[in-house]
Amino acid sequence: MDWKTEEKIVYSTTKAIIYKIKNMYDESSRKAILAGLRNSIGRAITENENILSIFFENIPEEIAGRTGRLSWGEDAVLSVLQLYALYKQGKSDSKEQEESGYSIGIALSFLRNAEDTKSPDRRFNAMITATTLEEFKNHLRHLIKLLKSRENTVDIDFALLSEDLFKIAKGSKDEVALRWARDYYRISKKGEEKNEK
């Protein structure tokens, strides 16, 4: 299977799992899964039984791992589900048909609207110049937490984010970082574009 097909599967898998989580009938089960995803950060996925079924039942055969480690596709989906859980902590979710929103570069650019742009810019630059995928994801987690702490949260396209993390794992970090930097630093009509969304 070619990478482009795998990218699309990672995208659609993430979108489907987030949809299932958002639309769970039992609120306590939904909260347990989100808490489990947050608690799984930096740990083996098998250490948290609350997320095993929602994760592995929804991973298609095409991106499923065959070794004792998560495949790149599984890792991209899990990493973004963890970020989603972090971002949604303490916030109610409307039940929607789809998860949609801004690309991560545009979403993070909302941090620049404050009086201080140096701090978010420094964190963003550290992320896109990271030399390893783990370092990249660590910086991204910190930026997601910063974005979450804003009074008005921004809708993020988490499915697109999973596709981007998959591309980075497959060696296309420069392509992804360039697109994110363009979105993040875009100046012309930025305010107008955000208001129209």
Residue 50 banded pLDDT, cuts 50, 70, 90: confident
CATH number 3.30.830.10 is the correct assignment for the domain at 3-196: no
Q: How does pLDDT run across 126-182, given as a tens digit for each residue?
A: 999 999 999 999 999 999 999 998 877 789 999 999 999 999 999 999 999 999 999
Residue 112 banded pLDDT, cuts 50, 70, 90: confident
pLDDT at 92: 62
Q: How does pLDDT run across 15-48, given as a tens digit for each residue?
A: 999 999 999 888 898 999 999 999 999 998 888 8
By residue count, the chain amounts to: 197
